[in-house]
Amino acid sequence: MSDTVTVRVPAKVNVQLAVGAARPDGFHDLANVFLAVSLYDEVTATPADELTVTCAGPDAGKVPLDRTNLAARAAEILAERAGLAPAVHLHIEKRIPVAGGMAGGSADGAAALLACDALWGLKTPAEELLAICAELGSDVPFSLVGGAALGTGRGEILTPVPAGTFHWVFAVADGGLSTPAVFREFDRLTAGTEVPVPQASPALLAALASGDPDALAATLANGLQPAALSLRPSLADTLAAGTEAGALAALVSGSGPTTAFLVRDAESATKVAAALNASGTCRSTHTATSPAPGATLL
């Protein structure tokens, strides 16, 4: 047992997000290629009389501090399984955009799980931690493992895939987009059409493994992008601004509204970020590389 534990956890971008038709349970089958990127939240767990959450960072005001926070839910589930009281204070240093399509809440859930496991000296086996993650949400298992992975099912069944290093710029939009709302818009836009069974693209997986940014740029695909653009048409201006500034490819990150720009190298990342900041089409930018490690004890 220790006094305080901090876990660093990455954001993600989907380099492929193939979405199937809505299932009877309302979820969609996905073929989802996740990449963890070097944009991190940190979650610190400290013993306390009861479960409390605080959050700091530019978007802190948008993060719920009650039991709906995924970090709090992770602590509750782990404590219940161990027969403990969730007597912990969780502090979130938030850098991942909130409701931005970069799995920030999922990241904090995975980080809190790892932090509480260490704080309480539980040494929960990795498969059990992953099962708790899947219970917390479809993107949470990937936040725990990081790197690069193919997610099938709702996205929670993970197979690690090889990936070279890539450089990215992320443009943060004003306001968030609700992931369920974007899936509903996907259903509306595809109603009456034949939605193919989602499958990972072999060309994309080969490009990812090769580390060749031009090959990856030619194969990136986000099936939720039309729905995100339909709900937030102004994102098209952000995508165009990044492309004009020299990005190799531009896409909406997950369900948006963060937009992701694949660039050739660190120098190009700085240039594209500056152009996006000057364009007035986004609130702020982050530069990052992939793949990044998953949730890590500091």
Catalytic annotation, pick one of 3, 62, 139, 212: 139
Rule CB under 6 A: say whether 294 interacts with ligand ATP: no
Nearer residue to ligand ATP within complex by CB, 17 or 245:
17
Exactly one of 12, 41, 94, 108 is catalytic; which is it? 12
Q: x-or-dash pattern for ligand ATP, window 58-97, by CB under 6 A?
A: -----xx---xxxx--------------------x-----
Question: Binding residue for ligand ATP (CB under 6 A) from 29, 139, 156, 185?
Answer: 139
Q: Does 255 bind ligand ATP (CB under 6 A)?
A: yes
Active site residue 123: no
Give the number of residues in contact with ligand ATP, rule: CB under 6 A.
22
Q: Decide if 139 is catalytic.
A: yes
68 or 165: CB nearest ligand ATP = 68
Shortest reach from residue 126's CB to ligand ATP, in Å:
21
Q: Considering the rule CB under 6 A, would residue 175 count as an interface residue with ligand ATP?
A: no
Q: Between 72 and 217, name the residue whose CB sits nearer to ligand ATP.
A: 72
Inter-CA distances, 281 with 92, 96, 98, 146, Å = 28, 19, 18, 30
Q: Which stretch binds ligand ATP (CB under 6 A): 81-89, 105-113, 118-126, 261-269?
A: 105-113
**C-beta nearest to ligand ATP: residue:** 105
Q: Which residues are catalytic?
A: 12, 139
Chain residues that interact with ligand ATP, rule: CB under 6 A: 63-64, 68-71, 92, 98-106, 108, 139, 176, 179, 254-255
